[in-house]
Amino acid sequence: MYRLTTSIPYLLNRLGVRMGELFSRRLQPYGLTLAMYRVLASLAEQPGQRLGDLADMTSIELSTMSRLISTMVGAGLVTRKRLPTDDRTVSIDLTSEGQRLAAILIAEAQHYEDVAVSQLSDADVRQLKSLLGEVYAATDILEAELSTSAPGRL
C-alpha cells in the first residue's frame, strides 16, 4: 500500500526544504537568497551562461531569472551583456565581487554537505547521487506519459 511519507517525492521535498532552510540562514548575513547562491555557484562552475541555460541549470523559471539577474546586476554580483554573435542572447558573468562571494559560499556549501553526509560512507554518498541522477533521467518517461494518457485514466 502506497504511503505519502515513504514516497520519493515526499522524501525529496522534505529533505530539500529542510536543507534549503538551513542553508538560507547561512546566506542571510551576506544578504543573499538561495536562488542568488545557485546563480553564483552555477556561474562559478560554468562562466558566461546564457539566461536560459542558467534557468535550466538552477531550476529557476526563466522570467524569475530575468528579474533575479537584474537585481544581481544592481548588487554588483554579475554582469549581463548581449552576445555579438546573436543579439537576442545575453551572457551572464560573475563580477570580481561575485567571484569573491561565490568562493566563500561554495566553501560553506561544501562544509555543509560534508556535515549532512557525515554519517554515511563515501560509497553511500556516491550511490545517493547516482540514484538521484537516474531517477531524474527517468522523468522524461513521465513527461512523455503526460502527453499520451489522460488524467484519471491511470
Which residues lie near its own copies (CB under 8 A)? 2-20, 22-23, 25-26, 28-30, 38, 41-42, 44-45, 57, 59, 104, 106-113, 115-120, 124-125, 127-129, 131-139, 141-143, 145-146, 151-152, 154
* Percent helix, strand and coil across the chain, each to the nearest 5: 70, 10, 25
86 binds, among its own copies, DNA, none (CB under 5 to 8 A by kind): DNA
Which CB, 21 or 45, lies closer to DNA? 21
Q: Are 40 and 97 in contact (CB under 8 A)?
A: no
* 46 lies in the binding site for DNA (CB under 7 A): no
Q: Interacting stretch for DNA, rule CB under 7 A, among 48-56, 99-107, 123-131, 142-150?
A: 48-56
Spatial distance between the Cα atoms of 126 and 31, rounded to a whole number of angstroms: 32
Q: Which amino acid is at 107?
A: A
Smallest distance from DNA to CB 13, Å: 10
Spatial distance between the Cα atoms of 82 and 23, rounded to a whole number of angstroms: 33
Of 89, 95, 109, 112, which one interacts with DNA (CB under 7 A)? 89
Q: Are 62 and 55 in contact (CB under 8 A)?
A: yes
